[in-house]
Each structure stands twice: as C-alpha cells, then as structure tokens.
Amino acid sequence: METLVKDIHTAVMEGQSEVVQEKVKAAITAGIPAEIILNEGMVSALAEVGHLFEEGEYFVPEMLISARAMQAGMALLKPALKEADIKSSGKVIIGTVKGDLHDIGKNLVAMMLEGAGFEIVDLGTDVAPDKFVSAVRETNAGIVAMSALLTTTMPSMNTTINALKESGVRDQIKIMIGGAPVTEAYAHQIGADGYAPDASRAVALAKSILSVS
C-alpha cells in the first residue's frame, strides 16, 4: 500500500501521467482510500514541486507537467471521492479569478462539492468579474465560489464582489473564497460570506451557508 502511494507521489513529481494513472488504478483496486491517494500521493507531491520551484530547481514547464499528471490521476479518483447518499444541495458557480490560471484546487473543490450533491457551474480559469455577474443572472445558483492561487490575483476577488454589488445581484447569493494565499481575515476584509482552507472544508462551508444538512 505504502509503495503504491509513494510511486504515485514520485510519478506526479516527475510528471509521468501514464504512470500516475496506472498506479492510481492499482491503488484503488488495492482498496487504498481515495483521500490517502489524493492527499499523500498527489497533493503532497505538488506541494514539493512548489518548493522546488521556489528554490529554482523546477521551472514552469516542470510545474505544468506535474499538474497535468495530477489531473490525470484526479479524473480516476472522481467516482471514489463521491459521497454515497447524494441529494441535490443547491447550485454553485465556481471559477478561478481573473489573471489566474491555476485550476487544480478549484477543480478539486468542484469535484468534492459535486460529490456532496451540489450542481456545479464551472466558469474555468481567468474569470472576469462580469462573467461571474452574468452567471449569477443566468442561473439560480445559491453560491459564488472563487479560487485564487497568486497573491497578485487575490484582489480580483474583491473586484468581483464589487461588480456583483454594483450590478445589484450581491444579495441573491452567498460568496465563498479559497486558495493557498487566501485567509479567513481576507474573506472578512472583502465582505465574502466564508473562507475554506481545503476542499473538504469547502463542502462543509457550502452546506452551512446554504443551511443544507
């Protein structure tokens, strides 16, 4: 069991998508819990990739192929991450804010929310404030969920909230935010309704702000 998780970790770090897929399939078959495969095999590998990037040992192409390898593995884990008793919990509009192309965390949050019974409207990455506004107008979503991975794109969350206010739709929805540099304090500062540090707590937060049990 440990060897398989280690192999997944190494393959994500080396950006070997096919090996990741092969090992993730083997780990699922071996009965290793999806959360262990995800957190110990893949999320920790990307954290290490981030450190190597900071230290100048990895560059953007290496980060990118590691990210692709993780996404290949995540696709296989999706069914296993779904909760058993799924009932409709509401609709969530989700996107990575303008200027930001990181989508793995956002995809993971979307996947876990979907698994918990939420309907997802995924706007993708680099989402301009007016796109969030249009999505609120076009859907009957209860939540707008924004992700940012760069300190330089966090202000786009504030700009988006202001755009939602200016267009008169702010009070129709709850707003939740997250992403590595984002904090609870920042959520308060910009007037979001909630912050979650990871995907499972994002599910708990979404349920609590929509009062879903």
Residue 186 CB, nearest approach to ligand B1M (Å): 12
Residue 117 CB, nearest approach to ligand B1M (Å): 17
71-110 burial, b at 16+ Cβ within 10 Å, e below that, comes to: bbbbebbeebbeeeeeeebbbbbbbbbbbbebbbbbbbbb
What phi and psi values does residue 210 have, to the nearest 5 degrees?
-100, 5
Q: Which segment (8-16, 26-34, 94-102, 159-167) binds ligand B1M by CB under 6 A?
A: 94-102
Q: Which segment (23-31, 82-90, 139-147, 166-174) binds ligand B1M by CB under 6 A?
A: 139-147
* Ranges within 3-42 binding ligand B1M (CB under 6 A): none
Which residues make beta-bridge pairs with 174? 143
Could you say which of 111, 135, 177, 190 contacts ligand B1M (CB under 6 A)?
Answer: 177
Calpha distance 42→54 (Å, rounded):
19
* Ranges within 191-210 binding ligand B1M (CB under 6 A): 196, 198-199, 202
Task: Verify binding: residue 75, ligand B1M, rule CB under 6 A.
Answer: no
Query: Residue 167's Cα: distance from chain center in Å?
Result: 26
Q: Which segment (16-24, 77-85, 164-172, 175-183) binds ligand B1M by CB under 6 A?
A: 175-183
Task: Verify binding: residue 103, ligand B1M, rule CB under 6 A.
Answer: yes
Check: CB of residue 86 under 8 Å from CB of residue 118.
Answer: no
Residue 1 CB, nearest approach to ligand B1M (Å): 22
Q: Which residues are catalytic?
A: 100, 102, 156
DSSP conformation class of 182: -
User: Residue 33: which residues within 8 A CB-CB, separation 6 or more?
Assistant: none
Calpha distance 196→116 (Å, rounded):
16
Angle at 189 between CA 174 and CA 122, to 5 degrees: 40
Residue 154 CB, nearest approach to ligand B1M (Å): 8
* Ranges within 40-59 binding ligand B1M (CB under 6 A): 43, 46-47, 49-50, 53-54
Interface contacts to ligand B1M, rule CB under 6 A: 43, 46-47, 49-50, 53-54, 60, 63-64, 67, 99-106, 108-109, 145-147, 149-152, 176-181, 196, 198-199, 202
